[in-house]
Structure 1
Amino acid sequence: MNKIELVKDVYAVGVKDWNIKNFHGYAITLGITYNAYVVKGSEKVALIDTVKEKFTDEYIARVKATTDLDKVDYVICNHVEMDHSGAIPHLMKLLRKDAILVTSMKGKENLEAHYDMNGVNIQVVKTGDILSLGDRNFKFVNTPMLHWPDSMETYLIEDKILFSNDGFGQHYTGEMYFDDRDECVIFDQAAKYYANILQLFDKPANAALNILKDVEINMIAPAHGVIFRKKENIEKILKKYQEWANGVNQNKAVVIYDSMWGATEIMADKVKEAFEDKGVEVIFRSARDHEFSDIAKDILEAKYIAIGSATLNNGLMPNIIRILGYFEGLKPLNKKGFAFGSYGWKGDVLTKVENFFDAVKWEKMAPYCALKYRPKEDGLKGLYDTVYNNIKD
């Protein structure tokens, strides 16, 4: 079995889930990797994270290709979610009786809630604690709510490798293990991952980034996706996380709409035209034709979000209802929202979109625009002018 070596005696032993299409309701197009690692010191050997339970046998085989199981002293569990801890129960039965499972206090609680941990030696660590393998030493950083209460990251001091678990991850499976090419795809997938999984947790993300700001990092080895080892990419992903966690937006607009008989789509085109004429980059999305997880990535760095819906059964279109519910959970930061749409005889349903803006603390660009039946030229001009005149730095 091919050994993937990060540096001497540090190996990637995770597995690739090529065929998965959905993760937590998040649409997957490029598969998922469940990354795990082996670190060998002069005196002891540690494993970092495991994999989803169904891949346990492949994972164990990959570990065995790098070290004998009876030489493993520690298993570090950075996060108990089952895509990282699923192989732990079987793994611990294969190791020596004195092997130690290392995790946070919440990690211990969650492991015991998920699995039968009777007979397993568990060592609890916290931020700043050191674990020695002889000539190599780990330092631990608790990162609670990034994105579970038990989350932590593990830093290999001598080699300056950050094992970041979900932080800096991407759902991206390919033949490569490192960030040596396909950088546009990697960063696009990193944005999608952050937007759908970590975006809600901006405060914990900032807390983790503050801890890491003075740490020298030569490599970031996440639990999903490629390993960052190019200096410029490490700097870029850290900068991106700083921006995402603080709601730094670009001069972009996302127009999201769903139409019944085409009237709201005509309005959406006019909204797009107004943004483009003002020099704002526009992403144009039909809610019924695009995955919500892709739209979440679209709005991550956008300043303006325009949401259009026809009126159906005295309410919003079902896809718009669902997408607002999804975004309300993610709570994207620092956006300016605008609602528009067509109606037949009840013209106030767009207040539901404005209520959403209030719930997620978005500024309203302008009061909503509702046009009756098929929009006429004067109505479309008024819509255009409303959007155009309210695009401000």
Structure 2
Amino acid sequence: MHYHAPITEKVFWIGTNDRKTERFENYLPLPQGVAYNSYLINDEKTCIIDTVDFSTAGLFIEKINGILKGKALNYIIVNHMEPDHSGSLGEVMAHFPEAKLIGNVITLKMIKAFIPDFDEAKFICIKEGDKLSLGHHTLTFAMVPMVHWPESMVTYDITDKILFSNDAFGSFGTLDGGIFDDEINFSFYEDEMRRYYSNIVGKYGPQVLNAINKLGGLEIKYICPSHGILWRKDISVVINHFANWASFTPEEEGVVIVYGTLYGTTAKMANVIARELAWNGIKNIKIYDASKTDHSYIISDIWKYKGLIIGSAAHNNDVYPVLQGLLHKLKNYGLKNRYLGIFGNMLWSGGGVRGIQAFADALPGLEVIADAVEAKGEPTPDDQRKLENIAKAMAEKLKSERQ
């Protein structure tokens, strides 16, 4: 018995759950695993929309055979060539050699890069708005370049109003029984969806907004992404989440304090700021030691909250090493629409605070809300007052936005 799930009469979820892989793209932790979503349309002509990671290819082939029961597979649509979607493509082609692959002109280049001996005679090149009839179902295609690879596209089932959305509207987390939004508790997945967006797609906010605008004219009854929950009830929820994340719109009033410390003095400074924030009525305060917590979780909370306060010990005249990667990624993603506070610690020549200030200068969408504070060793009473001023200024900014 091979578990698959009907979406509509002829459309099936044939995805797989991966609870073994420890890190997505070999660097993002997967404590709740990840689902590789694939879909099969069993019409007069049969069609698979994307495949799955190679690690679950065996189960995937079993699921296809369980539905087709000896019937030919006619088409494989390749919305995205990243290996978590296409890793089992070669395996599927070996089992179903008669199948034609469907993608755009950039897709073909990437197929040949991953499968050098690919027979181009098996490829059907489509462009924006082309249609494919399967019998009862008719599919069409829209290009969504850089959401989040250049060949990325989505497939739309005109018949059943299904958007097969590729990496748009996806999430970390396996599908543990329920696959639809009305079968599960979304709050269980919400943080993992934000962590997925902010770390995987986050750099390409403008492209995501362009894609949402492009698809806005479609009647959509189902959103079927390549990872995570399928949507059929509260479709506006997931669209609004992605639109807000793409525009760097915070979800809640709150502050992330993240620091790098060698021997604890910078951590003391973070605690002073946090306590003063609480005294001033800020309830959502997250403090992270950048040496301990994986940066993907810190970045996710930075996307969630309006306030960000960064502290660094000086290390070889520079920002503390574990903070450098975090700042680089935030800069690369173009973080904006956040209030920023800066603090740190030094003994002689400094560098930590100076490096954070350079980071802020490179991102005009950040508003520095108070003078930076840089202690020399143990924070003095005067340092403490200055740290409290950062907290007070942040609290005032946040409270001024309350409705």
TM-score of Structure 1 vs Structure 2, range by shorter chain: over 0.9
1:107-118 pair list within 5 angstroms:
107-115=107-115, 116-118=117-119
Q: Please state whether the residue corresponding to 2:141 is helix, strand or coil.
A: strand
Distance 1:120 1:55, change over 3 A: farther
Distance 1:56 1:11 in 2: 17
Instruction: Give the 3-state SS of the residue equivalent to 1:134 in structure 2.
Output: coil
* Shift in CA distance, 263/386, structure 1 to aligned 2, threshold 3 Å: same
Out of 267, 270, 289, which is 1:286 matched to? 289
Matching residue of 1:373? 377
CA apart distance, 1:244: 0.9
1:105 equivalent in structure 2: 105
What is the deviation of 1:197? Answer: 0.4
RMSD (Å) for aligned C-alpha atoms: 1.8
CA contact (8 A) 1:338 1:364 kept: yes
Q: Is the 8 A contact 1:69 1:94 kept in 2?
A: no
Q: What SS is found at the alignment partner of 1:340?
A: strand
Partner Cα distance (1:70, 1:219) in 2: 26
Report what 1:297 is aligned to.
Answer: 300
**Residue in structure 2 matched with residue 80 of structure 1 by the alignment:** 81
Aligned-residue offset at 1:119: 5.3
Contact 2:320 2:352 in 1 (8 A): no
Asked whether the 8 Å contact 1:324–1:356 carries over to 2, the reply is yes
Work out the CA distance in 1 between the residues paired with 2:121 and 2:52. Answer: 18
Per mean C-alpha deviation after superposition, the further-off stretch among 266-275 and 240-249 is: 266-275
Partner AA of 1:307 in structure 2: I
CA offset at residue 292 of structure 1?
0.4
Q: CA deviation at 1:329?
A: 3.0
1:197 aligns to what SS in structure 2?
Answer: helix
Does residue 1:205 correspond to 2:220, yes or no?
no
Structure 2 gaps of 5+ residues are none
CA contact (8 A) 1:101 1:120 kept: no
Identity of aligned residues (%): 30
- In the aligned structure 2, how far is the partner of 1:174 from the partner of 1:128? 32
TM-score, length-normalised on structure 2?
0.92
Gaps of at least 5 residues in structure 1 are none
Equivalent positions of 1:22-37 (< 5 A) are 22-24=23-25, 25-37=27-39
> Is contact 2:345-2:352 (8 Å) kept?
no
1:161 aligns with 2:167: no
1:111-168 Cα offsets, whole Å, 9 max, x none, are 1121121254211222222111111111211110000001111111121111111111
Instruction: Note closer, same or farther for the CA distance 1:386–1:333 as it changes in structure 2 (3 Å cut).
Output: closer
Match of 2:324 in 1: 321
- Aligned in 2, Cα 1:155/1:372: closer, same or farther, shift over 3 Å? same
Amino acid at match of 2:278: E
* 1:231-310 aligned within 5 A: 231-232=233-234, 234-249=235-250, 250-280=252-282, 281-310=284-313
Contact 2:52 2:60 in 1 (8 A): yes
After superposition, the C-alpha distances for 1:188-239 in whole angstroms (9 at most, x for unaligned) are 111110010011001110111001222222211111112122x22x111101
The separation in 2 between residues aligned to 1:4 and 1:175, in whole angstroms, is 12
| Residues 5 and 13 in structure 2, CA contact (< 8 A), matched pair in contact too | yes
For the residue of structure 1 that corresponds to 2:342, the secondary structure is: strand
Rounded to whole Å, the distance in 2 between the matches of 1:366 and 1:80 is 46
Q: 1:120–1:94: structure 2 CA closer, same or farther, 3 Å change rule?
A: farther
Distance 2:107 2:128 in 1: 13
State the shift of 1:71 in Å: 2.1
SS of alignment partner, residue 309 of structure 1? strand
Selected match of 1:355 from 355, 358, 361: 358
Q: Which moved more, 1:10-19 or 1:201-210?
A: 10-19
In structure 2, the partner of 1:38 is 40
User: Aligned-pair distance for 1:277?
Assistant: 3.4
Following superposition of structure 1 onto structure 2, how do residues 2-151 of structure 1 map, counting pairs within 5 Å? Answer: 2-24=3-25, 25-41=27-43, 43-68=44-69, 70-97=71-98, 99-115=99-115, 116-118=117-119, 120-151=121-152
CA distance in 1, matches of 2:248, 2:198: 11
How far apart, in 1, do the equivalents of 2:371 and 2:380 lie?
A: 19
Q: Which amino acid in structure 1 is aligned with residue 79 of structure 2?
A: N
Q: Summarize deviations over 1:337-378 as a string: whole Å, max 9, x none.
A: 221012112245311111112233322223321011111222
For residues 339 and 69 of structure 1, what CA distance do their matches in structure 2 show? 64
Structure 2: which amino acid aligns with 1:199?
A: G
Question: Matched residues in 2 for 1:274 and 1:291: separation?
Answer: 26
Out of 87-96 and 363-372, give the one that drifted further. Answer: 87-96
Question: Could you list the per-position Cα deviations for residues 63-109 of structure 1 after superposition, in whole angstroms to 9, with x for gaps in the alignment?
Answer: 00011454221110100011111122232233253x32111221111
Measure how far apart 1:315 and its partner are: 2.5
Query: How far apart are residue 285 of structure 1 and its match?
Result: 1.1
Helix, strand or coil at the partner of 1:19: coil
Q: Is the deviation greater in 71-80 or in 212-221?
A: 212-221
Task: Give the whole-Å Cα distance in 1 for the aligned partners of 2:55 and 2:315.
Answer: 44
Which residue, 375, 381, 387 being the options, matches 1:383?
387
- CA distance in 2 between counterparts of 1:56 and 1:349 reads 47
Distance across 2 between alignment mates of 1:225 and 1:342: 42
In the alignment, structure 1 residue 185 sits paired with structure 2 residue 211 = no
> 1:227 is matched with which residue: 227, 230, 233?
230
1:256–1:285 CA contact under 8 A, matched in 2: yes
Q: In the alignment, is the contact (CA less than 8 A) between 2:314 and 2:344 conserved in 1?
A: yes
Q: Secondary structure of the residue that 1:39 maps to in structure 2?
A: strand
Deviations 1:258-300 (A, max 9, x none): 2223221121112223333343332111112211011110101
Contact 2:319 2:352 in 1 (8 A): yes
Decide which moves more: 299-308 or 333-342.
333-342
Question: C-alpha separation between the residues in 1 aligned to 2:289 and 2:32?
Answer: 22
Take 1:326 and 1:351, find their aligned partners in 2: how far apart are those partners? Answer: 18
